[in-house]
Amino acid sequence: MTFETLARALETDSNADDDINREFLATKHAADIAQFLDEHDADTDWRVLNLLDIGRQAEILGYLDRKQQVALARSAPRARLAAVVSEMDADDRADLFNALTEDEQEALLPALAQAEREDIRRLAAYEDGTAGAIMTSDYAVLSPDLSARQALDTLRREAPDKETIYRAYVVDADRKLLGSVRLQDLILAPFNKQIEAIMERDTRAVRVDEDQESVARKIARYDVVALPVIDTDGRIVGIVTHDDALDVITEEATEDFHKAGSVGDLAESVGRASILMLYRARVFWLVLLVFGNIFSGAGIAHFEDIIAAHMALLFFLPLLIASGGNAGSQASTLTVRAMATGEVQLGHLGHMLGREILVAGLLGLTMAMAIYGIGAWRGGLDIALVVSLAMVVIVLAGSLIGLTLPFVLTRIGLDPATASGPLVTSIADVAGVLIYFGIAQTFLF
């Protein structure tokens, strides 16, 4: 049996195959079932979910696309929805809640138990993009004066409700974070040893308002399964787990990638976004860059006389402009990515500039040699000289613009990722026109 035969069985509207379908679903991972549900409508999805126990339903719901989650939430009676939502992981539940309208939220809340209501309210309150927004409240805490055996008993009792007990957090009476214990150290310890003596003290906690990308990078750096999240008083309020870190890193890479191609915010994935969403994500930069390129046009118009006198110059125009843009795009790409991974910071500008001048100088000379011959062939030695000289200066200028712009954007509080691609190219274009015809005017008149 496959997901295709499941789809066909569901179309028949009979319950004859329920047992077979149930058996099939039992062999599949929740993530795979969720993908199947994502591709079908809410009614079909509920028919599938109804074949499973409530815990599995909640697990699958957690893997669903946000849009599909909302569709399912809207097509179910309140009590039915509340039953599944209660079983979801705390962070998934809060995310789903945030995606509902205010009216829907108000309708759902009374159907939930008080503890879950409070939990949702608390998690849903944190700002998007912070540790608070991606953390879960399903973590295990231990008191420092327990013995290893008592601690294991506590975890045994609590485990079914917790997202992970691979690491339990040790807190004092005020829930202030004291340290953490790995489950494997707990089972290795003598039964009567105190938690205080087993725990690691320097648990690297993150603040609840810390940027999600910075949290994800710390999880990667320290190779941990989870990091605890603390409030301003040092009390633990949640944990961020390794799978959330993976999602954040993928999501942020996509965002940076899109920005580098001058595509704006796209809330949905490309495949699911509507025509209008795609239009909106692209039109802003496209139109903005039109106005940037008017400067290039004005530059050319300004040099109409020299162009009219030496039409051969036109042949090299796209080549020179594009080379400056390409060199700039390379320099900004390297800088933007190194900033995103934390390797390059604001203070490194001086050092980077020195290196860039050397690299770009070498590149410019190589490019000049590549086009000197073509210049001589198309327009004679004068043109060849102008074109080669312009190439060196343009590649150098483009590279320095590409390197500097991400630093400038960061300095004024904007995202450096905006700098790669079309924005750098447009600025380098203007510079290219002015440099090219400026040099031409100096040498040919």
**Interaction residues for a second copy, span 17-76 (CB under 8 A):** 27-29, 31
Nearer of residues 113 and 246 to a second copy, judged by Cβ? 246
CA angle 71, 20, 28 (to 5 degrees): 60
Q: Which of residues 238-257 bind a second copy (CB under 8 A)?
A: 242-243, 245-247, 249-250, 253-254, 256-257
Does 261 help bind a second copy (rule: CB under 8 A)?
A: yes
Nearer of residues 117 and 207 to a second copy, judged by Cβ? 207
Instruction: Select the span of 70-78, 99-107, 232-240, 301-309 touching a second copy (CB under 8 A).
Output: 301-309
Nearer of residues 329 and 410 to a second copy, judged by Cβ? 329
Q: Which of residues 156-195 bind a second copy (CB under 8 A)?
A: 156, 159-160, 165-166, 183-184, 187-188
- Rounded to a whole number of angstroms, the minimum distance from the CB of residue 74 to a second copy is 25
The candidate with the shortest Cα–Cα distance to 281, out of 261, 297, 305, is 261
Contact 180, 167 (CB under 8 A): yes
- Rounded to a whole number of angstroms, the minimum distance from the CB of residue 119 to a second copy is 20
Does 90 help bind a second copy (rule: CB under 8 A)?
A: no
- Rounded to a whole number of angstroms, the minimum distance from the CB of residue 372 to a second copy is 12
> Strand, helix or coil at 88?
coil
Does 135 help bind a second copy (rule: CB under 8 A)?
A: no
CA angle 51, 54, 57 (to 5 degrees): 70
Candidates 55, 172, 197, 279; binder of a second copy (CB under 8 A) is 279
Nearer of residues 4 and 13 to a second copy, judged by Cβ? 4
State the DSSP H helix or E strand holding residue 72, giving kind and residue range, or none if neither. Answer: helix 66-74
Residues in contact with 373: Cβ distance below 8 Å, sequence separation at least 6, in sequence order? 384
C-alpha distances out from residue 417 to 75, 256, 263, 269, 331, Å: 40, 5, 11, 19, 12
Nearer of residues 77 and 354 to a second copy, judged by Cβ? 354
Candidates 260, 349, 397, 434; binder of a second copy (CB under 8 A) is 260
Distance linking the first and last C-alpha atoms of the chain: 80
Nearer of residues 108 and 218 to a second copy, judged by Cβ? 218
The one-letter amino acid code at 188 reads L
CA 36 to chain centre: 24
Does 262 help bind a second copy (rule: CB under 8 A)?
A: yes
Does 2 help bind a second copy (rule: CB under 8 A)?
A: no
Q: Which of residues 349-388 bind a second copy (CB under 8 A)?
A: 355, 358-359, 362-363, 366-367, 370-371, 374, 378
Q: What is the greatest pairwise CA distance in the chain? A: 95
